[in-house]
Structure 1
Amino acid sequence: MLTKFILAVCISVAVSETIDCTGQHRYSATGTGYYPADDPIEGGFLDRQGHPLHTLQDFLDGKASWVSVAMDRYLHLPYGTHVCIPELNHKYHRVIPFRVVDTGSAFSHKGYGRIDICTRSQHDSYDNTINGHITLVFH
């Protein structure tokens, strides 16, 4: 019985550390949601290099291997830069790989303080965890 308990604690700690995100650079940011739409505000269906956007819900449904996010183009982050968001990992009880593949005028000169997370629909973009204070962790 004690062995099962110790094993459960070890597994719990290992999972907790993974979903808490490991990385050298942590930033406090305000998150918002956006969604693929043929609308000037939302920016269309493609990222800044013309590839289809990957939504959070598609990732959760197993239809995408990562989630598209938009950030400030003046950060000069390479296309596909990985970012970890512990608040969303905790909400969904798994590691969610986010990649910076998009930008927009709303992010100009916001630095690491603003991120837009791609969701499936307008309704999904209103999620309270996405639209609030979140932590961005970069390697």
Structure 2
Amino acid sequence: CESCQQQQQQPHCDSGGVRNPRRSIPLPYIMDLERNPVPDQLGYLVLTEDGSVHASGGELENDERRANIISTILSLTDTVDPAVFKPRSCRTISIVYPEHSYTICLSNKRIYVVKKRVTENGGNSGNLGEGHSIRA
């Protein structure tokens, strides 16, 4: 995921975590958004496949409302014409507002959501006008 890949540090502990062959950082380290937040992280949600909150923190602590909205967005990606896009081909969705963004990543039967502060040097490709954009 876009936010997960920005984390380039090595873990502080020797957890012996499982490695994803496409990444050089152990997965448990990447997915620990509480102890190892991504840069400019304001909050996070970790959801199960059915949309229930598994973990949360920061501005998204126990935010069932946003969890339901995100689950609905993900269910919409399943309704895209399979002749155009392969089923389950969407792995990352970014929703960008002027002050913050949400990055939604699907990994290991979990849904990871990171709310980040938008910085001046952060590009907003896919702009919808009025400072909003959606990238998938």
Q: Assess same fold via TM > 0.5.
A: no
Determine which structure has greater relative contact order: mean sequence separation of CA pairs < 8 Å that are 6+ residues apart, divided by chain length. 1
Report the TM-score when normalising by structure 1. Answer: 0.28
Larger % of helix: which? Answer: 1
Q: Give TM-score scaled by structure 2 length.
A: 0.28
Structure whose residues are more often strand by fraction: 2
Larger Rg: 1
